[in-house]
Each structure stands twice: as structure tokens, then as C-alpha cells.
Amino acid sequence: MCLIGEYFNNVLKISLENYIVISGPCHAEEIALERLSYLTVASQNINLAKLLERILKNNYVKVKCSNDIIGTEYSAVLKNIYAIASGIANGLNYGDNFQSVLISNSIREMQRFICNISKIKRDINQTVYLGDLLVTSYSKFSRNRTFGNMIGKGYSVKTALIETNMIVEGYYAAFSAKKINSTYRTKIPIIESVYNILYKDRNPKKVFEKLSKKLN
């Protein structure tokens, strides 16, 4: 398993100099409403990134450039898993206090996961990482949080997938992240908790009771 950029580079032999990742934090619904939004364009080719920045930016879309292709793409995948966790917690009636601890642990877990794979200097508190995680975990537009909320309320995984009526990226990402981590062996209790609920049919309440003891 690999990222799209890794597949293009390793399998199709397309140079990463010709590859760009566009990330948030940015919900399409708010772009459509012309609400102030922020994008990050990641590329090893800064001139290409700057070109796309000029194309995308306008009076309500701000664009920032980055050279962290791998970190940007992985964070865009992992944040969907954490949004499911946030939704499950909400469905189980955990309050805002727990949510704040869950998300602060999520960003540190994301940092461990990404840095074990791609050891370049990055600030995990930048909006492309932390900001995208926050908007996906808390927004009413988040399909992954909505899906997790249904799981927490007792829906089966199959039923929740049908009821969401959209692609729940975090469902597939949880399986992939777990498999990828079998190589890197990063400490990822939140991802593993979501994986166990979605793929091992574990009881969400019991899983989160155990998870809560691992957070700090």
C-alpha cells in the first residue's frame, strides 16, 4: 500500500518534481458559499507550486506553498480516521473535555506516524496538518465525523456506510494505516481503536474506555 504520489513515482516513474498535492483545511461547501478558506499546495518544484497558487487564489481563497509532499498527503488521509474517532466519541456522549484530549493526542499520533515514514523537518501545528485535522473532526460538513457518530450511537458499520450516503475515506484509511504501520510499528492507539471497531467488530464503548486510559 502507498500514497498516490508514491504510486506515481515508484510504479509509473513520474518524477515528484511534476507532482502536486492540494490540501486544506478546506470544505468544498464553504468554498461554494465563498467563505474565507485556506489551501496548501505541496510540491518539490516550488515554481510549479507558485504557479498553481496564482491560479487558485482569489479574494476568499488563500493559498500557501509547501515542499512536504509526503507529510501533506499522509495528514490528509490520517485526519479522516481521527474524525471518525471524534464522531464515535460524540455518539458515545463523551463531552468537549474528552474531545479536546482526543484531538490533541491525535495530532501527536499523526506526527509520530508521519515522521517515522518521512523524516524531514515539519511543523505539525501548521494549518495543513493541525488545521485540517480540526475542521474534519469538528465540522458539521464532515462525512467521517458523521459516520463515526452513527457508530457511537449503535449503528452497524454496514448500516452507517449506507446511511452516510457518501464515501467515508477514513473507513478505508484505517485499514491501510494499520497495514502500513506493521512495517514502521509506530505507537498509534487511536488509529488502532478505530480499526478494531470497524474491522474487528469490537464494542465502541469498551474500546473507548480502554483508549481513554492511554490518552494524556
Catalytic residue positions, numbered? 79
Q: What is the three-state SS of the chain?
A: CCCHHHHHHHCCCCCHHHCCEEECCCCHHHHHCCCCEEEEEECCCHHHHHHHHHHHCCCCEEEEEECCHHHHHHHHHHHHHHHHHHHHHHHCCCCHHHHHHHHHHHHHHHHHHHHHHCCCCCCCCCHHHHHHHHHHHHCCCCHHHHHHHHHHCCCCHHHHHHHHCCCCHHHHHHHHHHHHHHHHCCCCHHHHHHHHHHHCCCCHHHHHHHHHCCCC
